[in-house]
Structure 1
Amino acid sequence: MKQARLPGLLAAIMLLGFALAGCSSSSSTSEGQKELVVAFDSDVPTMDPHMHNEPNAITINWHIFDSLLYLSRDLKIEPGLAESYERKDDLTWVFKLRKGVTFHNGEPLDAEAVKFSLERVLNEQQKSPQRGNISAISTVTAIDPYTVEIKTKEPYNLLPHRLFYLSIVPPKYLQEVGDQGFAEKPVGTGPYKFVEWVKGDKIVLEANPNYFKGAPKIGKVTFRVIPEVATQIAELQSGGVDIIRMVPPDMLAQLEGNPQLAVTSTPLLRVYYLAFDTRKKPFDDVRVRQAMNHAVDIDTIVKKVLGGKAVRTPAGVNPNHFGFDAGIQPYPYDPAKAKALLQEAGYPDGFETEIHYFTPGIGQQIVDAVISDLSKVGIKAKAKFYPESSSFVEKQRAGDLPFRLGHWGSYSVYDADAILQPMFHSEGVYGTYFHTPELDQLITDARSSVDQEKRKALYSQAQQLLHKEAPWIFLFSPMDNQAYNTRLDFQARADERIFAYEIDIKQ
């Protein structure tokens, strides 16, 4: 009897072992399909690639959609849906499309789809926050089914850079389901198809076996919404997720010594800032804005919160942007000067305010430090956290956040235009918070000039004006500390994207 039961017992033990092995790793499914699980610190506001500028949502877009051009890992512009392009003259660009590409629903990718997509973003009634990126475009013409001509109002050297983040969408499907339907169930041409979105919990994608560049190596990708960094770390350690981003330096020690985990630090183009609504009191007074720049000990925040892994951005522009003026020095930490400026502005006892923010983890640490520093000069600030980024983004676009912590990645365009135009031009997506006629002209002239030295000079003037007017408390650009399971064949990208199509899981 005992001998007869041994094979069954052994089989049960083996099955249990296999089951436990499957539970210990997020890198495979029960069907043997490779699966990647990535942690997001917040949910996305929408699945519509034209109706946001939020970094997590851009990551999702990269998986579901394609653009005319593609930004490679080494930040070079490569063919995307356009197999080639040429500049006919200062104002005319011609793009030749790949043949045989279809959207996930079978709809063909053609010149009309490209025309529809660009014109949708350009349409003022659509209210796309990406409109400013391509507002230099005057006309889009479908020359034939696979040729698109784009004309600009003025010379615009950055057009190719603006097109590698502009997703091409299926006209017939979008018109059939409407904007709201498309925002919930997107269809693109990308390497992954949309499966489900459980708001506040997860986004699930599956491989597109017919992708024009070849089928993805990873069959399923899940993005889990995990706001707390400590929980992300615990999930990474237990195998619940494979990759986490923006790990605070003071938490990196928890990952050291684990042979199954690795950490990489990458310089970012992203800039963190505290922005004022300069139309509203007390932030309409430049002396108040300058005082608050002097009141915050940013160097100490960089040291204590970021472990020294950040560079100051004294006028908002990142040192890696073309046109950065290295001669502009950051506001020095000077509480006495801050108090003097506040008294001069009529606020000798300070005032009360709220700091609005939606980024947990590092965001909360930054806000806590700023609140402490401001209290030393009499400014009583409270934190207002938005668990859902969509609520923050909606208020931000509406101009309803008088004082907010934000960050901007410039769509990975390494040119000062990519931050100056959206943030400080009257037609920019957030230009309503601060702009001037002089600044508008500087940004417009730099955008349209083909003389790089002239553009540098114009950007320098713009940064000097911004430094003086202080529409932000100018913070820093941090390093991105990414931690991942060593089962992955993974290299971090400098543009922040976690792109499953470039990742594999070691056998």
Structure 2
Amino acid sequence: MRLARRLAALTVTSGLLATACSAPATGPAAPAGDAFVIGLGSEFETLSPVMGYAPDGGSLIYEGLMAREPDLSVKPVLAAAPPVTSGDGRTVTFTLRDGVRFHDGRPLTSADVEYTYEAVLEESNNSPIRGDYAAIEEVDAPDARTVVFRLAHPYAPLVQRTTLGIVPAGAPLTGDRPVGSGPYRFVSRIPGDKIVLEGSKDHRDGAPAIGRLVLAFAEDDNVRATRMSAGEFDAAILPPRAAARFEGQPGLTVHKVPSADYRGIMFPLGRPVTGDRAIRRAFSLAIDRKAMVDTVLAGAGEPAFGPVSPATSWHNPEVTGSPAADPEAARKALEEGGWAPGEDGIHVKDGVRASFTLMYPAGDSLRKELALAVASDARKIGVDVRLAGLDWDAIEPRMSQDALIMGWGSPYDPDYVNYELFHSSYAGKGFFNPGRYGDPEVDDLLETGRESGDEAVRRKAYRDFQKIVRDDEVWTYLVFLKHVYVIRGDYRGVRPGVDAHEHATGGLFRDIHTWKPAP
């Protein structure tokens, strides 16, 4: 079925940024009993894949055509085999596994796949992930087991994008009572508190050894650590310093998982101070990233200088710098940019003080500590950074005025996230490109990287993109994190990989249905 559509401006909901939100109640939760309880720092905005829930395969309720392995490769799940791609790269054909059923007993067919992707692409649905699938012109289901994607242009990451969970045809987009085909079925949800799941006894891989899961939400890092210590959680995701107390404790295992997840400072580029490249350049030179890794991250991370992790093959090695601060070079950059020291030691240009507000989410102890370190380093070179710890509802409307410690990053493909963060068409669209950056050359490079089927062309485009963004000092990148998971008990089948920014029930928990208690 051909869809008439155009690429809509993408407004990201706070749920995609892993912020705490609420949703309609679905009735009281079942008693947890002997459930395995996971402490998460953020609640899901929705449980509908169409509306942005776990599109990269982090769901335990749904399954995609493909799934991601810890080493970042993809394998068939609902698909019976890898897809067949036409010579021109514009037709991709999947054959579905036979005999798959949804949790309510309905057979899963190509019509459900067609419905899911068309619902994402239908402009009136306003899916926040619609832009990621814009290359798709048409989805066909010629028979019950065949799905054909017809593309407007070759799109190299398409197969990776097919980790999107499949919903039954005609399913409501609210996700209030989700029905999937994954290893766990939905039981109940209490907004702001928890989601209860139970293992699907009819799943083709058999019932999970961990038969009942509770996803408990606690936005504050210290609260999560306290509840983990008190035995309320069987596992939790924690910042490194909060997890340090669990190192070496009997019956607990701490996993430090590499990621492409970075923390950096987003600057509103339309403001007198943060819009000045000299300020941003001096700021980057003044930051002691090594000290941040050593202290704030307790060694669980690496210095960051750009949006593409050096751990991936897409990284441009020219995009680097000194992990230690260089205050002399920072002061020189300020002076060359026309900023002179004022009477109070803060630089001034044309009567404007080098002073701005830096926001961070109040419950995020790691971002708070990074913000404190940033403000201290900036003060040493005569830049005044005023800190504001706020909730996400207060942060979002201020992003065009005030700087923000943000987190993003994906190891999958450089098209992921970067297109929306730096392409001018997304300027000011929610949490994507909130600083309103726009550069025609960057736009062209991102479009080339997205539309070319030639890997060599794509690699050059993304290398050049990284260099320009670094030279423009659009952000000040601080650190790449290692995600820290604390698990109570000894389980076989725990497979650390490489995490993206949004890990939630993905990351280390992506295949918790295969975990088995150690004998």
TM-score normalised by structure 1 residue count: 0.82
* Contact 2:318/2:467, CA 8 A, preserved across alignment: no
Which of the numbers 351, 357, 376 marks the counterpart of 1:372? 376
Shift of 1:149: 0.5
2:414 equivalent in structure 1:
416
Q: Secondary structure at the match of 1:172?
A: coil
Q: Secondary structure at the match of 1:108?
A: coil
- For residues 263 and 201 of structure 1, what CA distance do their matches in structure 2 show? 24
- Write the mapping of 1:9-48 to structure 2, written as runs, cut at 5 A: 35-48=35-48
Which of the numbers 233, 251, 267 marks the counterpart of 2:225? 233
Shift of 1:281: 4.2
- For residues 465 and 324 of structure 1, what CA distance do their matches in structure 2 show? 13
Equivalent AA in structure 1 for residue 49 of structure 2: P
Which of the numbers 51, 63, 68 marks the counterpart of 1:66? 63
* Contact 1:417/1:447, CA 8 A, preserved across alignment: yes
- For residues 370 and 234 of structure 2, what CA distance do their matches in structure 1 show? 26
Equivalent AA in structure 2 for residue 461 of structure 1: D
Unaligned runs of 5+ in 2: 1-29, 341-348, 500-506
Equivalent AA in structure 1 for residue 274 of structure 2: F
Shift of 1:157: 1.8
- Write the mapping of 1:270-419 to structure 2, written as runs, cut at 5 A: 270-330=261-321, 333-334=326-327, 335-337=330-332, 339-340=334-335, 341=337, 343=339, 346=350, 349-357=353-361, 360-376=364-380, 377-386=382-391, 391=393, 395=396, 402-410=402-410, 412-413=411-412, 415-419=413-417
Shift of 1:326: 0.9
Closer, same or farther: CA 301–338 of 1 in aligned 2, 3 Å:
farther
Closer, same or farther: CA 211–346 of 1 in aligned 2, 3 Å:
farther
- For residues 236 and 347 of structure 1, what CA distance do their matches in structure 2 show? 51
Closer, same or farther: CA 258–140 of 1 in aligned 2, 3 Å:
same
Shift of 1:163: 1.4
- Structure 1, residues 34-75: CA drift from partner, whole Å, max 9, x if none? 62111111222222223347xxx6799511111110112333
Closer, same or farther: CA 401–146 of 1 in aligned 2, 3 Å:
farther
- For residues 184 and 279 of structure 1, what CA distance do their matches in structure 2 show? 40
Shift of 1:290: 2.2
Shift of 1:195: 1.7
* Contact 1:322/1:416, CA 8 A, preserved across alignment: no
* Contact 1:68/1:82, CA 8 A, preserved across alignment: yes
- For residues 79 and 392 of structure 1, what CA distance do their matches in structure 2 show? 42
Q: How many residues align?
A: 460
- For residues 352 and 290 of structure 2, what CA distance do their matches in structure 1 show? 26
Closer, same or farther: CA 482–327 of 1 in aligned 2, 3 Å:
same
Which of the numbers 405, 426, 443 marks the counterpart of 1:440? 443
- Structure 1, residues 244-298: CA drift from partner, whole Å, max 9, x if none? 22432x4454223422111222211212222123244443332333233234322
- Structure 1, residues 119-149: CA drift from partner, whole Å, max 9, x if none? 2222333332322322222211111121111
- For residues 30 and 346 of structure 1, what CA distance do their matches in structure 2 show? 64
Identity of aligned residues (%): 26
2:25 equivalent in structure 1:
none
* Contact 2:308/2:409, CA 8 A, preserved across alignment: no
Shift of 1:346: 4.0
Unaligned runs of 5+ in 1: 1-28
Which of the numbers 134, 156, 177 marks the counterpart of 1:185? 177
- For residues 30 and 420 of structure 1, what CA distance do their matches in structure 2 show? 42
- Name whichever structure is richer in helix by fraction: 1
- For residues 220 and 433 of structure 2, what CA distance do their matches in structure 1 show? 32
1:115 equivalent in structure 2:
114
* Contact 1:191/1:501, CA 8 A, preserved across alignment: yes
1:243 equivalent in structure 2:
235
- For residues 435 and 44 of structure 1, what CA distance do their matches in structure 2 show? 31
* Contact 1:39/1:245, CA 8 A, preserved across alignment: yes
- Write the mapping of 1:119-138 to structure 2, written as runs, cut at 5 A: 119-138=118-137
- For residues 316 and 424 of structure 1, what CA distance do their matches in structure 2 show? 10
- For residues 351 and 361 of structure 2, what CA distance do their matches in structure 1 show? 25
Q: Secondary structure at the match of 2:95?
A: strand
- For residues 91 and 228 of structure 1, what CA distance do their matches in structure 2 show? 46
Which of the numbers 168, 171, 180 marks the counterpart of 2:169? 171
Q: Which moved more, 1:206-215 or 1:468-477?
A: 206-215
Closer, same or farther: CA 189–472 of 1 in aligned 2, 3 Å:
same
Equivalent AA in structure 2 for residue 128 of structure 1: S
* Contact 1:312/1:330, CA 8 A, preserved across alignment: no
Q: Which moved more, 1:127-136 or 1:353-362?
A: 353-362
1:196 aligns with 2:200: no
* Contact 2:55/2:165, CA 8 A, preserved across alignment: no
- Structure 1, residues 459-502: CA drift from partner, whole Å, max 9, x if none? 12111110111111112211122221133335243232413213
Which of the numbers 441, 453, 478 marks the counterpart of 1:450? 453
RMSD: 2.9
Q: Which moved more, 1:367-376 or 1:138-147?
A: 367-376
Equivalent AA in structure 2 for residue 462 of structure 1: F
* Contact 1:424/1:435, CA 8 A, preserved across alignment: yes
* Contact 2:273/2:354, CA 8 A, preserved across alignment: no
- For residues 233 and 254 of structure 1, what CA distance do their matches in structure 2 show? 9
Q: Which moved more, 1:122-131 or 1:398-407?
A: 398-407
Shift of 1:322: 3.1
Shift of 1:314: 1.4
Closer, same or farther: CA 336–304 of 1 in aligned 2, 3 Å:
same
Q: Secondary structure at the match of 1:82?
A: coil
1:503 equivalent in structure 2:
515
Shift of 1:365: 1.5
* Contact 2:91/2:148, CA 8 A, preserved across alignment: yes
Shift of 1:220: 0.7
Q: Secondary structure at the match of 2:424?
A: coil
2:216 equivalent in structure 1:
224
- Structure 1, residues 83-128: CA drift from partner, whole Å, max 9, x if none? 1221123211001112332222334322121112112222333332
Shift of 1:339: 4.2
Closer, same or farther: CA 362–122 of 1 in aligned 2, 3 Å:
same
Q: Secondary structure at the match of 1:173?
A: coil
* Contact 1:35/1:221, CA 8 A, preserved across alignment: yes
Equivalent AA in structure 2 for residue 491 of structure 1: V
1:259 aligns with 2:264: no
- For residues 103 and 61 of structure 1, what CA distance do their matches in structure 2 show? 18
- For residues 44 and 378 of structure 1, what CA distance do their matches in structure 2 show? 37
